[in-house]
Amino acid sequence: MENLSMLWGIIGPGVAGALFGAGWWFWVDAVVCSAVKVSFIHYLPGIFASVSALMFNCVSKEDLGGDYYSAYGGDDNEWRAKLWLFVAYVVSFVCLAASVGLLVQDALTDKGPSVWTGVAGVLQCVFVLISGLTYWTCHSSDD
């Protein structure tokens, strides 16, 4: 089991980077291939999904346990880390919901971007958030 954990620590960041790159590749492809100009509001779910992936990677797994010494205070650090993680997850799910909403809007109107732009936005959010979770599971605080 320790060998599997060590292997995941080695290949996990590469897998996370590939997922992140694939998510943004879908989005760039949709914007470049779009017949009409894609408005800036379509960019926001992917941008905020990337920010939320960064947010929950700022919290280490050791910060959630509470079995550590901290020079910054007592028991307040554990709930602060959990609150930060909760806010990051809320932002990520709002991004996913916004991208689905934009997909529905693109599918129902004829004058906006194509449906592929909406699908690429959803794929971008899903891949970026999975990459963030992948990286969070494979790194430790001693890295």
- Separation CA 66–CA 76 (nearest Å): 10
Residue with the bigger pLDDT between 64 and 19: it is 19
Cβ-in-10-Å burial (0-12, 13-18, 19+) of 90 comes to exposed
pLDDT at 9: 86
pLDDT band per the 50, 70, 90 thresholds, residue 103: very high
Average pLDDT over residues 13-41: 94
Instruction: Say what the pTM is.
Output: 0.85
pLDDT, averaged across the chain: 88
Helix/strand/coil for 55: helix
Average pLDDT over residues 16-29: 96
Give whichever of 49-63, 76-90, 97-111 has the largest mean pLDDT. Answer: 97-111
- Separation CA 109–CA 38 (nearest Å): 14
The residues near 59 (Cβ < 8 Å, ≥ 6 apart) are 81, 84, 85, 88
71, pLDDT greater than 60: no
pLDDT at 8: 86
Q: How far apart are the first and last CA of the chain?
A: 20
80, pLDDT greater than 90: no
Share of the chain above pLDDT 70, in %: 89
